[in-house]
């Protein structure tokens, strides 16, 4: 039997490198056919020597010649969006581990080609909801979430697939490095402190998003896009009022679904992203082996508490953008990308992230986000507004 070909988009990042680990565990079943990176041509070339893909795509045109020379014989280097779309469309499954809005072409190329998308890049779905929903309706297209909470919800809902009587979804959150801190204690936190996530080792953008709880807010929008009214036949009809955020510092329960009869189904496993990546690859089957099992011979303590919405106002900001709809989530996500970059560059304090995103969102122009052009314009305008807001602060 021929092997399933896998495109790993963003292969040089945290999700990408873990996706390569997962594929390597079942070499008779999967083969990496495409690797993509932003600018890290040396690292992606090293990966190509290990996995021997058909093609490597680099976003930065300037590195194309160096990349081609560094690749093993028979592996083609390409750059640019149309090459990227072709490469992704040719693979059976794509794991989208690109960070930020830059992941949108991968999401659309895969779904529009009628293929399976393992989606880690939440920003593309959040920013371009209606456009991605249409692409999701392409014959053969399938979206299986890789974000651990949504992979958990996918499994909880699947466990009850015969009845769609879902009352609420509970998204769990580790609480990040600043859980338990009062707003007054958070004004002076450093980049290093914000990057020290207690349970997950991830790329810098999502780690900062976890420290502000913006990540959880983005995940609330992601959950509504994946499982809500707008997802049509793919959804279970929930809306923003039906999604709870529950702080669970151990990151063992990855999320839960509560049904109309009061039963709650949860998915538990160690905090290791290779689990959800493997789930998205193998669904509806499962991988043949695990990346570590919970040890039930030892006492296991699981805590749950409500989020502190005063100290972490980005959470409610995301609910607000999600409820506004249209391009408001695209504006939220774009302004957040700009603000997180500014925080990482030492230009604004941690609390400035919320201030910038909130200021940009108040100027939202009511864009509907129904077309790709509308989404691209919305993303651009929000970045301009965020840059202006930053300039006013500096």
Ligand X SMILES: NC(=O)c1ccc[n+]([C@@H]2O[C@H](COP(=O)([O-])OP(=O)(O)OC[C@H]3O[C@@H](n4cnc5c(N)ncnc54)[C@H](OP(=O)(O)O)[C@@H]3O)[C@@H](O)[C@H]2O)c1
The CA–CA distances, whole Å, from 329 to 87, 232, 333, 341, 382 equal: 29, 19, 6, 18, 10
Nearest alpha-carbon partner for 273 in 302, 247, 251: 251
Q: Which of residues 344-373 bind ligand X (CB under 6 A)?
A: none
Query: Closest-CB residue for ligand X?
Result: 13
122 binds ligand X (CB under 6 A): yes
User: Closest distance between ligand X and the C-beta of residue 195, in Å?
Assistant: 12
5 binds ligand X (CB under 6 A): no
The C-alpha torsion from 190 through 250 and 274 to 299, rounded to 10°, is 140
What does R_g of the chain's alpha carbons equal in angstroms?
20
Around Cβ 74, how many Cβ atoms within 10 Å? 8
**How far apart are alpha carbons 120 and 150 in whole angstroms?**
10
Range 200-229, binding ligand X (CB under 6 A): 200, 202-203, 205-206
56 is an interface residue for ligand X by CB under 6 A: no
Find the part of the chain contacting ligand X (CB under 6 A) among 34-42, 70-78, 322-330, 360-368: 34-42
Using the minimum distance from each CB to ligand X, give the nearer residue, 37 or 359: 37
> Is 90 a binder of ligand X (CB under 6 A)?
no
- Kindly state whether residue 176 participates in binding ligand X, applying the rule CB under 6 A: no
> DSSP states of 352-379 as a string?
HHHHHHHHHHTT-------SHHHHHHHH
83 makes contact with ligand X (CB under 6 A): no
Select 47 or 389, whichever has its Cβ closest to ligand X. 47
Instruction: Give the end-to-end CA distance of the chain in Å, rounded to a whole number.
Output: 60
171 is an interface residue for ligand X by CB under 6 A? no
Q: What is the distance of C-alpha 335 from the center of its chain? A: 17
Select from 4-12, 137-145, 241-249, 310-318 the region that touches ligand X (CB under 6 A): 4-12
Q: Can you give the binding site for ligand X, defined by CB under 6 A?
A: 10-16, 37-40, 59, 97-99, 102, 120-123, 147, 200, 202-203, 205-206, 273
């Amino acid at each position: 039997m021929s092997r399933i070909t896998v495109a790993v988009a963003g292969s040089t990042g945290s999700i990408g490198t873990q996706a390569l680990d997962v594929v390597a565990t079942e070499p008779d079943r999967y083969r990496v056919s495409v690797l993509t990176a932003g600018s890290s041509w040396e690292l992606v070339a090293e990966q190509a020597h290990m996995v021997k893909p058909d093609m490597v795509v680099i976003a930065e045109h300037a590195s194309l010649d160096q990349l081609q020379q560094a690749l093993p014989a028979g592996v083609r280097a390409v750059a640019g969006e149309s090459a990227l779309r072709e490469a992704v469309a040719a693979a059976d499954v794509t794991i989208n581990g690109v960070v930020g809005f830059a992941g949108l072409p991968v999401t659309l190329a895969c779904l529009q080609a009628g293929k399976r998308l393992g989606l880690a890049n939440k920003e593309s779905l959040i920013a371009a909801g209606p456009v991605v929903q249409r692409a999701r309706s392409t014959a053969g297209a399938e979206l299986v979430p890789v974000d651990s909470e949504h992979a958990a919800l996918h499994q909880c809902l699947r466990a009850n697939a015969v009845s769609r009587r879902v009352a609420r979804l509970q998204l769990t959150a580790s609480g990040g490095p600043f859980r338990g801190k009062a707003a007054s204690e958070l004004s002076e936190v450093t980049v290093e402190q914000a990057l020290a996530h207690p349970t997950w080792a991830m790329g810098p953008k999502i780690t900062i998003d976890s420290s502000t709880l913006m990540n959880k807010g983005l995940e609330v929008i992601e959950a509504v896009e994946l499982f809500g009214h707008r997802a049509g036949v793919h959804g279970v009809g929930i809306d923003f009022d039906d999604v709870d955020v529950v702080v669970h510092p151990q990151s063992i329960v990855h999320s839960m679904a509560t049904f109309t009869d009061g039963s709650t189904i949860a998915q538990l496993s160690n905090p290791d992203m290779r689990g959800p990546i493997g789930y998205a690859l193998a669904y509806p089957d499962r991988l043949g082996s695990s990346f570590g099992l919970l040890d039930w011979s030892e006492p296991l303590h699981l805590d749950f508490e409500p989020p502190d919405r005063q100290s972490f106002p980005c959470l409610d900001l995301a609910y607000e953008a999600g409820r506004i709809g249209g391009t408001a989530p695209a504006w939220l996500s774009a302004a957040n990308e700009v603000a997180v970059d500014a925080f990482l560059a030492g230009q604004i304090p941690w609390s400035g992230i919320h201030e910038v995103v909130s200021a940009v969102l108040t100027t939202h122009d009511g864009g509907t986000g129904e077309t790709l052009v509308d989404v691209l314009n919305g993303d651009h305008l929000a970045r301009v507004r965020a840059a202006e807001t930053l300039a006013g602060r500096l």
